[in-house]
């Protein structure tokens, strides 16, 4: 199954970003540390040109720290890119991101001019929370539901910064198709665009191969079957997801697994590694 989600306001956001990009000094993009590849918008490189680029691997407290370290190294291989692991309670680091971007600007730039920072991020990566931290007040609405921000706004930040907040937008075709599954698992795609029983086996298969002990510990399993559906059946038996007659409620058990991942109940788990 192919998963795509591109509401109309996202197309508008992409056009607005393209229009104002020439006025921007540097780009700050918020990624989900658990899936930096899938949450990195491929349109950004096309839009930014050679402008400095700061990437924030947010929710790093939920991600595999080894994978996060590898991702930072990989991302910084690109000229003009700096990358940082970040969590929502690191206010000092959040504010340092702006000074890092300023130091990457051309030496001949007018030092008295406000630094215009475009902050980008696909839905539900924590962009609005970071904006509120940078501003020192609640300006951007936050929610566990994706696509809350629907219009661009300009926010003055102490230290002569102007922050351009943009709606979180995806791209018309998610490629490769696995990106769509990982984005759905993370919560970056609206629930109307997928079924839990479709993405649940995908998630279980990945966890079985990369984090088998996490599955055993979370669901009290001593053995992991080789088949992902059998693993889900075993979890269903543990979590009361079996209907009268022994029929497994696959929707319910898949939703339990996905929500456990999103909350960090499986431990520090990443959905992607650089290779």
Is 43 or 19 the better-scoring residue by pLDDT?
19
Whose structure tokens read 């929707």? 251
Antiparallel, parallel or unpaired: β 153-157 and 115-120: unpaired
Stretch 89-93: mean pLDDT: 82
Q: How many other β-carbons are positioned within 10 Å of the β-carbon of residue 159? A: 12
Backbone angles phi, psi at 168, to 5 degrees: -65, 125
- Is residue 70 within a helix (H) or strand (E), and if so which, with residue range? helix 65-75
Mean pLDDT computed over every residue of the chain: 86
Q: Residue 7 pLDDT > 80, yes or no?
A: no
Residue-wise pLDDT tens digits, 201-259: 999 999 999 999 999 999 999 999 999 999 999 999 999 999 988 999 999 999 999 99
The span from the CA of 101 to the CA of 21, in Å, is: 16
**Are 77 and 49 in contact, with CB atoms under 8 Å apart?**
no
The CATH number of 195-263, from 3.90.1300.10, 3.20.190.10, 2.40.50.40, 1.10.1580.10, is 1.10.1580.10
The span from the CA of 191 to the CA of 28, in Å, is: 27
* Segments making up each domain of the chain, as ranges: 8-165, 195-263
* CATH assignment, 8-165: 3.40.50.300
Whose structure tokens read 């199954």? 1
pLDDT value, residue 143: 44
Residue-wise pLDDT tens digits, 95-138: 899 999 999 999 888 888 999 999 988 888 888 888 888 888 77
Stretch 59-88: mean pLDDT: 95
Q: Residue 16 pLDDT > 50, yes or no?
A: yes
Tokens of 191: 């629930």
**Strands, sheet with 153-157, edge to edge from the N-terminal-most edge strand:** 81-85, 53-58, 26-32, 115-120, 161-165, 153-157
Tokens of 92: 């000092």
Q: Residue 5 pLDDT > 70, yes or no?
A: no
């Amino acid at each position: 199954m192919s998963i795509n989600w591109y509401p109309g306001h996202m197309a508008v956001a992409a056009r607005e970003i393209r229009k104002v990009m020439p006025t921007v000094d540097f780009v700050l993009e918020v990624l989900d540390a658990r899936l930096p590849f899938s949450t990195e918008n491929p349109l950004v490189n096309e839009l930014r040109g050679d402008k400095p680029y700061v990437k924030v691997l947010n929710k790093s407290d939920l991600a595999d720290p080894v994978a996060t370290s590898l991702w930072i190294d990989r991302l910084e291989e690109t000229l003009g890119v700096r990358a940082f692991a970040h969590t929502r309670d690191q206010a000092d680091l959040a504010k340092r991101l702006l000074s890092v971007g300023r130091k990457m600007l051309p030496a001949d730039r007018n030092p008295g001019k406000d630094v215009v920072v475009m902050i980008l991020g696909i839905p539900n990566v924590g962009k609005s929370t970071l904006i509120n931290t940078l501003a020192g007040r609640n300006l951007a609405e936050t929610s566990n539901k994706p696509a809350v921000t629907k219009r661009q706004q300009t926010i003055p930040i102490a230290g002569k910064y102007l922050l351009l907040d943009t709606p979180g937008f995806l791209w018309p075709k998610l490629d490769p198709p696995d990106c769509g599954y990982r984005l759905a698992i993370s919560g970056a795609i609206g629930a109307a665009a997928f079924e839990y029983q479709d993405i649940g086996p995908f998630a279980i298969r990945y966890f079985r191969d990369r984090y088998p002990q996490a599955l055993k510990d979370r669901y009290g399993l001593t053995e992991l079957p080789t088949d992902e559906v059998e693993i889900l059946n075993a979890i269903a038996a543990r979590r009361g997801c079996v209907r009268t007659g022994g029929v497994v409620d696959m929707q319910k058990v898949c939703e339990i697994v996905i929500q456990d991942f999103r909350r960090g109940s499986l431990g520090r788990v990443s959905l992607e590694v650089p290779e």
